[in-house]
Amino acid sequence: MAEDKILDFLSQYDKKVYQLATQVRGLLIQNLPGIIEQLDLPARMIAYCYGQTYSDLICVIIPSKKGLKLGFNKGSELSDPDNMLEGTGKTSRYVVISSEEIIKSKNLKALINEGFKAYKRRSG
């Protein structure tokens, strides 16, 4: 049921954004054990978290007409040796997902794992 709503939401975007977003979803579900996937329609994004508070949030998929971003909660605090993270916000950072190669890269997987480790440190 929830998956249908998510796929329906993503289908509003062009084919490339849809395909990249579904691949990122698979990567997140595969690398974040027991993650909760929540569609946030007003914010037009899909959140990946372990609870209902902001500190439980790992990352968000942000589709748009221009493309796709994977935003990281507290991304400014993550180790990013490959300089994948962009943005100038106080806490959040994002990776522009422009190709399948980025999704399949060990660097993106490492960032997802960094986000998970940071969550575990926050939650004690």
pLDDT in tens, 43-91: 999 999 999 888 899 999 999 999 999 999 999 999 999 999 999 988 8
Q: Which domain holds residue 49?
A: 2-123
Distance CA 111, CA 58 (A): 11
* Strand-pair category, 93-96 with 45-49: unpaired
Residue 9: give its domain's CATH number: 3.90.1150
Domain count, the chain: 1
The pLDDT, as a whole number, for residue 55 is 87
Strand arrangement, sheet containing 36-40: 36-40, 45-49, 57-63, 68-72, 93-96
DSSP state of 45: E
Establish how many alpha carbons lie within 13 A of residue 73's alpha carbon, considering only the half-sphere containing its beta carbon.
20
